Amino acid sequence: TQTILLASRPQGTPTAEQFRFETREVPAPTAGQVLLKTRYVSVDPYMRGRMSAAKSYVAPFEVGAPIVGGIVAEVVESHSDKLPVGSVVVGSLPWQEYNVTDAQAVNQVPADKAPASYFLGLLGMPGLTAYFGLLDICQPKAGETVVVSGAAGAVGMIVGQLAKIHGARVIGTAGSDEKVAYLKELGFDEAINYKTTPDIAKALAAAAPNGIDCYFDNVGGAITDAVYDQLNKHARIALCGQISTYNATEAPVGPRPEGKLLKTSTKLQGFIVSDYLDRWPEGVKQLTEWYAQGKLKGEETVTEGFDQIPAAFLGLFKGENTGKAVVKVA
């Protein structure tokens, strides 16, 4: 099977040099195991963290070992009653065309309910991140104003739709006019292109005349500084990601926002979606229901070909994706 290894650790923005393709033997599956053919590979910003040696909430990838990430695969040989041939599963697996794994290590998905790739996006990890971060931490109420940064990405576009379901006014920031137009189509009240808007604070003030009650932060940096200036009393912030800083080689020095949080009695909470593992079934059930009712849309940018996985990953840092970035492996 083809496999993709971490060739070296990136300094700053990762490049294609950090990935190496190799051909490896697939072992024969034994009792309790299945042979999986990869259908879709998920590329996610958090994987940038695992490419570095720094200690975090998940262990770093090893140099010379396969990259591991979210994969949707089909069972092509089974030695487990749990997963018959033809089952579609999702799991955290090496970036390989074929994998042998214990049946217990992956989860079967209801492939009749949605396109298989959605279990890497709307009905998978990013959807659950949006669901728990927004509904548990921000708790938006009808009539409140919600801002989400990275709004046209996998997590952000779901956050906005969930906030609309809960009756909030929703404002998103994103990196192109096409993304801004897409967000408005999706039902966002306002969207701001942070790359072409000279004064983000001013644009936010115009879009949120009643101030900001909830902020779902995917991005950090200058956008977040501008949001902090306009928080209402008892605002809530879900600190989900800080993608604008992931490739930084030095800590950015910006305005110190802590005083603003104090003056507005804002509650800020960082979280990792796996904090909610015990409530995962509840989240999947609710997202699937809203999707079936047409209240939630999935959007994805699909790149084709196993050899394109590194490029699709690198594209995350250039804003190449709208919605969930996935790679279809033929």
Residue among 1, 2, 52, 176 that touches ligand NDP (CB under 6 A): 176
Question: Which helix (H) or strand (E) is 68 found in, with range?
Answer: strand 68-78
Quote the least distance from Cβ 166 to ligand NDP, whole Å: 20
Residue 236 in contact with residue 137, Cβ under 8 Å?
A: yes
Q: What values do phi and psi take at 152, rounded to 5?
A: -95, 10
Burial class (CB in 10 A: 0-12, 13-18, 19+), 285: exposed
Question: Which region among 27-35, 78-86, 93-101, 169-177 touches ligand NDP (by CB under 6 A)?
Answer: 169-177
Computed on alpha carbons and rounded to an integer, the radius of gyration of the chain in Å comes to 20
Q: Does residue 219 touch ligand NDP according to CB under 6 A?
A: yes
Task: Round to whole Å and give the CA distance between 229 and 243.
Answer: 20
Q: Does residue 319 touch ligand NDP according to CB under 6 A?
A: yes
Q: Does residue 159 touch ligand NDP according to CB under 6 A?
A: no
Residue among 26, 111, 268, 272 that touches ligand NDP (CB under 6 A): 272
Residue 177 in contact with residue 193, Cβ under 8 Å?
A: yes
Our CB check for ligand NDP shows the closer of 268 and 272 to be: 272
Residue among 243, 287, 312, 329 that touches ligand NDP (CB under 6 A): 243
Our CB check for ligand NDP shows the closer of 48 and 169 to be: 48
The Cβ of residue 253 has, within 10 Å, a number of other Cβ atoms equal to 6
User: What is the amino acid identity at position 190?
Assistant: E
Quote the least distance from Cβ 241 to ligand NDP, whole Å: 2
Q: Give residues 277-316 in contact with ligand NDP (rule: CB under 6 A).
A: 316
Structural tokens at position 204: 């936010």
Residue among 6, 159, 174, 214 that touches ligand NDP (CB under 6 A): 174
Residue among 29, 45, 298, 310 that touches ligand NDP (CB under 6 A): 45
